[in-house]
Amino acid sequence: MEPTNIRLTIPDSVDPTALMGPADALLRRIEEKSEAMICVRGNQVSVTGPAGAVAEATTVFSRLIGLVESGETPSVADVDLIVGQVAHGAGRMERSGDDVVLTYRGRAVRPKTPGQRRYIEAIRANTITFGVGPAGTGKTYLAMAMAVAALKRREVGRIVLARPVVEAGESLGYLPGTLEEKLDPYVRPLYDALFDLTGRERGNELIEQGVIEIAPLAFMRGRTFNDAFVILDEAQNTTPEQMKMFLTRLGFHSRFVVTGDASQRDVRGANGLEQARRVLGGVEDVAFVSLDRNDIVRHSLVARIVDAYNEAEAAERQARARGREQ
Q: What is the pLDDT of residues 6-37, one digit of tens each?
A: 888 888 888 888 888 888 888 888 888 888 88
* Average pLDDT rounded to a whole number, residues 288-296: 88
How far apart (Å, rounded) are the C-alpha atoms in residues 122 and 107? 23
pLDDT of residue 169: 43
* Average pLDDT rounded to a whole number, residues 129-146: 92
Is pLDDT of 304 > 90? no
Burial (0-12, 13-18, 19+ Cβ within 10 Å), 26: buried
pLDDT of residue 97: 45
**67 or 151, greater pLDDT:** 151
Which residue, 272, 276, 162, is CA-closest to 220? Answer: 162
- Per cent of the chain over pLDDT 70 is 85
Place 171 in a pLDDT band, splitting at 50, 70 and 90: very low
pLDDT of residue 230: 96
How far apart (Å, rounded) are the C-alpha atoms in residues 221 and 85? 43
pLDDT of residue 172: 44
Place 104 in a pLDDT band, splitting at 50, 70 and 90: low
Is pLDDT of 190 > 60? yes
How far apart (Å, rounded) are the C-alpha atoms in residues 198 and 187? 16
How far is residue 252 from each of residues 128, 129, 225, 255, 320, measured CA to CA in Å? 12, 16, 8, 9, 48
How far apart (Å, rounded) are the C-alpha atoms in residues 236 and 263? 8
Q: Residue ranges per domain, the chain?
A: 4-87, 101-295
pLDDT of residue 53: 85
- Per cent of the chain over pLDDT 90 is 30
**133 or 89, greater pLDDT:** 133
pLDDT of residue 101: 66
pLDDT of residue 168: 44
Domain 4-87 and domain 101-295 have a common topology: no
pLDDT in tens, 207-216: 999 999 988 7
DSSP state of 169: S
pLDDT of residue 209: 93
Query: Mean pLDDT score of the chain, rounded to an integer?
Result: 83
Give domain 4-87's CATH superfamily. Answer: K Homology domain, type 1 (3.30.1370.10)
CB 190 within 8 A of CB 231: yes
Is pLDDT of 250 > 80? yes
Give domain 101-295's CATH superfamily. Answer: P-loop containing nucleotide triphosphate hydrolases (3.40.50.300)
Is pLDDT of 69 > 90? no
